Chains A and B, each alone.
Chain A
């Protein structure tokens, strides 16, 4: 019994991690797992995420219209001019730490940029790209 105890703790921690995603990598993994349900071979890709980030959709907006092409830099809202803190976790440790916020902003911004909700594959690609951005 004693021998199995660390394994048990490990499993519980893993399960808790999945339920309360709190690091950028947790979010990447959660969305990637969701994408794999439809496409088992799917693997999140930073280059694909970068492409998506810069691609213009609705009303000529892309993610980078407000967040700039450098996710380590400060952004600026395209219509209001408000300064936006950097998106990349390496430049802003508050990013991708709270599920309600992550979901809220994907919902709103995907609607603005692509005119629909982003797929789990797109979300995991974008997060892979943002995690890959290093100073």
Chain B
């Protein structure tokens, strides 16, 4: 009996340890606004706002004319509305800051959280998965997180494509 309870406690603790840090990115506790999905979710999935701190979103939205190689400028009123949505739902800077960075990072993939959750060997990830034609780039969330377009990154929605 005692042993069983101990086992149960251990399992619960392990679960808590596993889920704890990842909650920020995987639990949907906001709803993506229509304008965010429409304007930002056409060229890439509408990334979850809590994966970058408010400073990062402000900086990113202030530089849309040079947005990772494209001019993604929006109408001023739309840009304002989207910035507000991102900032209100942003993550805490502690958890989504890039390791050792001075300026706010504009890339989710540079954050400590992303790196930890997508480290080699975790959930069957390996270099060949990233390089496969179906994934191609870590920016392509929807390649594995099948419901990323709707902001759903739950474990159940993950299907890692076979790398060839």
Contacts and interface: CB of A to CB of B under 8 A. Distances in A.
Interface of A: 59, 77, 79-83, 108, 111-112
B48 to A, nearest CB: 15
A79 B135 contact: no
Helix, strand, loop or mixed for chain B's interface?
loop
Interface in B105-164: 135-137, 139-140, 142-143
Interface stretch (B4-12, B28-36, B68-76, B87-95): B68-76
Contacts of B136: 81
A128 B87 CA distance: 42
Interface of B: 42-45, 68-72, 135-137, 139-140, 142-143
Contact of A59 (B42, B44, B69): B69
B140 A80 contact: yes
B96 to A, nearest CB: 20
B137 A81 contact: yes
Contacts of A83: 142
13 contacts: A77-B44, A79-B43, A79-B68, A79-B137, A80-B137, A80-B139, A81-B136, A81-B140, A81-B143, A83-B142, A111-B71, A112-B70, A112-B71
Nearest to B136: A81
Contacts of B45: 82
Contacts of A111: 70-71
A84 B68 CA distance: 19
A79 B72 contact: no
Contacts of B44: 77, 80, 82
B71 A81 contact: no
B69 A79 contact: yes
Given A82-B44, A82-B45, A108 B139 contact: no
Contacts of A81: 135-137, 139-140, 143
